[in-house]
Structure 1
Amino acid sequence: MVPGGALALVLAAALVHALWNVLFARGGRGIGVLAVTNAAGFVAWAPVALGRWSIEAAVWPYLLAGAAFQIYYLLVLNRAYARAPAHTVYPLARGLGPVLVLVVAVAVGARVPGWAVVAVGSISVGVWLTVTGSVDRRVLGAAFPVAVSLAGFPFVAAYGLRHADPATYLWLSTLPVTVGTLVAGRSELRAALRPMTVVTGVGMVAAGGLTMAALAMVEPSQVPAVAALRETGILFVVPLSWLLDRTFARRAAMGAVLVFVGVVLLAAG
């Protein structure tokens, strides 16, 4: 059972994560936007990370792996949102994460209970509803890599957080992607510097910080439940998208709800 404090943190992370994704999807494209977003989050989180500074030498392999996931995630997320709106990409990518975890479990010989099969079925139908009718099916190819990073990062972080404070761990794991995008997008920084881009970056790091704090409160065996519970952001992103863009199809909303039901079943088990 996930502790109450971790549950509250991960639900707050889901809401903030959904909000910044909606803003990010509506923002501009390009490496300059990524650079400003990352830099805003990095600077905003610096006082928290430095104020709580605590790190051991054993954390570095996990930090390097986490940094690789950060870079990979932002690149494929930017590509996915260039192809389709947030209310279709978001449920698809977030919903596939728990499914990938389950597939890996089956591949290594784990016994899959009936409720897990029902959960995967609900997620699969929800994903199908999200993709069909309102967006080109090629979005599946763009969202799948996002799901891979979403499934892998929490497991790496859960072990790395044994050797560092959550705030410190998050800040250091975002350093490589922040520096890399700033260097690559230096010619586009002025054009990309807008209030929405800065707010998106702050929301990105805030959601990550809340998730890191939740992961630090649980055992590694509870990481799948935390990862699944964070997918409640699927429900948050639908009304947020509707408030900003009332043109998306009801099928997408229905799909998001089904994905959410499947995720809850995975977490409850």
Structure 2
Amino acid sequence: MSFLVLLAVLGAAFLHALWNALIKLGTSRLGAMLILSVAEIPIGLAIALSRPLPAPEAWPWAVAAGCTHFFYKTFLTFAYDRGDLSRVYPIARGAAPMAVALFGAAFLHDEMTAPQYGGILLLALGIALMARGVFTDGESRKLLPFAFGSAAATATYTLIDGLGARVSGDAVAYVAWVFVFDGLIFTLGTLALRGTDALPRAPRAWVLGSAASAASYGAYAISIWAMTIAPIALVAALRETSILFAVLIGWLAFGERMTRDKAIASLMIVAGVIVTRL
């Protein structure tokens, strides 16, 4: 991997942490996530309409992924309403690949190496230490079920996307349509449940939400580009440095409390994810 690609992947990791931070920064987390979803629709369409249509077998998977994203975003929004970025993000981001790896080994007959099992153990210990900090530091325990719910939804749509992309014939087009369905389902679902009052009116909220959507797409696009010219496993592993970026943003930008245990837990989660993905 060249130095330029390395910097690009680290930039993608930063953008992923950044869009989460922008959602956390909004006065209404739900409103910011709603604006992000609205902006996803034209972004997805712009890419999708420039590509051939995916194979018919891929459409059910794309719709299923969009539905799963609704739960992912909802859980993540509620988690950020109740906890710090530097606490929620590592748990949600770290638990997902652990769940995918364990599910793949148990039900998809994916072969796993001894180092990968070691990575899962590191992940489990890091997540347990991060979750323990909620109790010892006097934070709201209500963030935990939502953070783990977000992780479960991430693991689910990761598996769905993997299967859908395989039968689509064009992974880029498939993901673009997932963006469209994701944006439509979350927007329409939220408006149906919460009404139009959930849609922010303040210009600042639209700026933050649109910036978050652009950062989300940028993180994805850079990663896909990097995977075309560098080992996919290495790119996937380096992307997980987003956990460290999120912890640093929470600490330096939001003034969130940084403890020794939180720092150690974050490093363990990053190390565990990298090992499982190499």
The TM-score normalised by the length of structure 1 is: 0.80
Distance 2:54 2:70 in 1: 22
- 2:246 counterpart of 1:237: yes
TM-fit CA distance, 1:103: 2.5
Report the alpha carbon displacement of residue 74 of structure 1 after superposing the two structures with TM. Answer: 0.6
Structure 2 partner of 1:150: 154
Tell me, in whole angstroms, the C-alpha distance in 2 between the residues paired with 1:225 and 1:257: 18
Map 1:1-269; keep pairs closer than 5 Å: 11-29=10-28, 31-52=30-51, 54-108=53-107, 113-131=113-131, 132=133, 133-134=136-137, 135-161=139-165, 162-164=168-170, 166-167=172-173, 168-174=176-182, 175-183=184-192, 184-191=194-201, 193=203, 194=205, 195-210=207-222, 229-250=238-259, 251-268=261-278
CA contact (8 A) 2:68 2:153 kept: yes
Deviations 1:121-168, CA, capped at 9 Å, x for gaps: 222232233231333444332211111122222332233233345153
Distance of aligned partners of 1:36 and 1:91 in 2 relative to their CA distance in 1, 3 Å threshold: same
Distance verdict in 2 for CA 1:140–1:11, change over 3 Å: same
Conserved? CA contact 1:32–1:192, under 8 Å: no
Rounded Cα–Cα distance in structure 2 between residues aligned with 1:56 and 1:224: 26
Quick check: 1:22–1:237 contact (8 Å CA) kept in 2? yes
Partners of 2:225 and 2:56 in 1: CA distance = 20
Alpha-carbon shift at residue 265 of structure 1 (Å): 1.0
**The residue matched to 2:201 in structure 1 has which SS?**
helix
Looking at structure 1, the residues matched to 22 and 81 of structure 2 have their Cα atoms a distance apart, in angstroms, of 13
Over the matched positions of the two proteins, sequence identity in percent amounts to 27
Kindly state the Cα deviation for residue 44 of structure 1 after the two structures are TM-superposed: 4.2
- Matched letter for residue 150 of structure 1: T
Alpha-carbon RMSD: 3.4
Q: Is the 8 A contact 1:94 1:234 kept in 2?
A: yes
Counterpart residue identity of residue 119, structure 1: G
Query: What TM-score results when the alignment is normalised by the length of structure 2?
Result: 0.78
Rounded to whole Å, the distance in 2 between the matches of 1:145 and 1:225 is: 27
- By how many angstroms is 1:205 displaced? 3.4
Contact 1:32 1:182 in 2 (8 A): no
Q: Distance in 1 between matches of 2:65 and 2:75?
A: 15
